[in-house]
């Protein structure tokens, strides 16, 4: 976070204009033509992470959770609501943080309005305890090495924040599979989720940074302002967006 804060401040620094006007006139040839307008200083457009964008607080809309950034407290439980909408297949009674639920309902309605059809909500909020069971099940299914890239240890999952959701469109196949990214619904999600404050969190070929294989179905709510900036900046990971270290592996072994 410090690196981002420093980058943000440094990005706004400009040379005082007097430094150009006070140069010795006999040596004009040494200087760039000062009659030309100076180029705009490079200002890093991303928002100041402090204090409006806390990345460390579990209940922050902007919290960054990855293999190096467990939730604090590790068994954090957010306030959640069941996501209910006639525009979504919410047969699984998925829960999300209220603000993320509202945005998902808006996105579901847009998907229907724009001809994609109903998105299915496969997984939303997952508790610390449930994530522990899920991770153990993944190890049994895939072995530990692959499980580590497919699932998170408890306390390290975005799903525990109530801000992450897995979506699908079962009638197009590829339910919670990488080929979802090539379906009509998957393409629509990847191109439009930002309009509703969501981003595709684990994009193709970003495993060395995110620690996870491609998950075109896993969306993270970050709010519309940030999602728009992320989209316009063509970012692929939140780690790069905020200037955080890559998180391919767990910081401390929890074995």
Q: Is 166 in the site for Zn ion (CB under 5 A)?
A: yes
Q: Is 215 noted as a catalytic residue in this protein?
A: yes
Cβ proximity to Zn ion, 1 vs 204, nearer residue: 204
CB of 126 to Zn ion, least distance (A): 9
CA distances for 220 relative to 28, 107, 110, 123, angstroms: 54, 13, 18, 12
> Which residue's CB atom is positioned nearest to Zn ion?
218
Applying CB under 5 A, what is the total number of residues that bind Zn ion?
A: 2
Cβ proximity to Zn ion, 166 vs 239, nearer residue: 166
CB of 30 to Zn ion, least distance (A): 58
The window from 37-45, 75-83, 165-173, 230-238 that contacts Zn ion (CB under 5 A) reads: 165-173
CB of 205 to Zn ion, least distance (A): 18
Cβ proximity to Zn ion, 8 vs 80, nearer residue: 80
Cα 71 from Cα 238, distance rounded (Å): 16
Q: Is 169 in the site for Zn ion (CB under 5 A)?
A: no
The window from 8-16, 26-34, 163-171, 175-183 that contacts Zn ion (CB under 5 A) reads: 163-171
Cβ proximity to Zn ion, 4 vs 200, nearer residue: 200
The window from 176-184, 190-198, 204-212, 217-225 that contacts Zn ion (CB under 5 A) reads: 217-225
Cβ proximity to Zn ion, 4 vs 97, nearer residue: 97
Tokens of 231: 């989209």
Tell the residue number behind the tokens 């939140």, with chain if given.
238
The window from 3-11, 107-115, 216-224, 237-245 that contacts Zn ion (CB under 5 A) reads: 216-224
Interface with Zn ion (CB under 5 A), residue from 46, 118, 126, 218: 218
Task: Give one DSSP letter per residue of the chain, joined into a string.
Answer: -HHHHHHHHHHH----THHHHTS-GGGGGGS--TTSPPPPP----SPP-TTTS-SS-TT-TT---BTTB--SSTT-----EE---TTEE-TT--EE-HHHHHHHHHHHHHHHHTT--PEEEEE----HHHHHHHHHHHHHHH-HHHHHHHS--TTS-GGGGT-EEEEE-GGGS-TTSGGGGGSHHHHHHHHHGGGGTEEEEE-TT-HHHHSS--EEEEEEE--HHHHHHHHHTT-S-HHHHHTPPP-SS-SS---
CB of 144 to Zn ion, least distance (A): 19
Q: Determine which one of 215, 229, 234, 239 is catalytic.
A: 215
Q: Is 126 in the site for Zn ion (CB under 5 A)?
A: no
Cβ proximity to Zn ion, 49 vs 181, nearer residue: 181
Binding site for Zn ion (CB under 5 A): 166, 218
Q: Which residues are catalytic?
A: 215
């Amino acid at each position: 976070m410090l690196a981002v804060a420093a980058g943000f401040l440094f990005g706004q620094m400009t040379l005082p204009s007097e430094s150009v006007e006070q140069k010795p006139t006999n040596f004009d040839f040494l200087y760039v033509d000062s009659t030309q307008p100076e180029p705009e200083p490079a200002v890093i457009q991303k928002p100041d992470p402090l204090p409006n964008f806390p990345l460390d607080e579990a209940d922050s809309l902007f919290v960054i959770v990855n293999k190096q950034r467990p939730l604090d407290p590790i068994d954090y439980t957010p306030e959640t609501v069941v996501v209910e909408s006639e525009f979504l297949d919410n047969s699984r009674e998925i829960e999300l943080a209220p603000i993320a639920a509202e945005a998902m309902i808006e996105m579901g309605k847009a998907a229907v309005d724009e001809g994609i059809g109903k998105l299915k909500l496969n997984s939303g909020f997952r508790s610390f305890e449930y994530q522990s069971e899920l991770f153990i099940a993944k190890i049994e299914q895939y072995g530990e090495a692959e499980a580590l890239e497919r699932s998170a240890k408890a306390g390290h999952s975005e799903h525990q924040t109530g801000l992450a959701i897995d979506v699908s469109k079962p009638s197009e196949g590829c339910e919670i599979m990488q080929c979802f990214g090539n379906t009509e619904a998957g393409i629509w999600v990847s191109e439009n989720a930002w309009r509703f404050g969501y981003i595709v969190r684990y994009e193709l070929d970003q495993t060395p940074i995110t620690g996870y294989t491609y998950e075109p179905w896993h969306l993270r709510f970050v709010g519309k302002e940030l999602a728009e900036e992320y989209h316009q900046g063509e970012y692929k990971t939140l780690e790069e967006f905020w200037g955080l270290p890559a998180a391919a592996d767990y910081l401390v072994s929890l074995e």
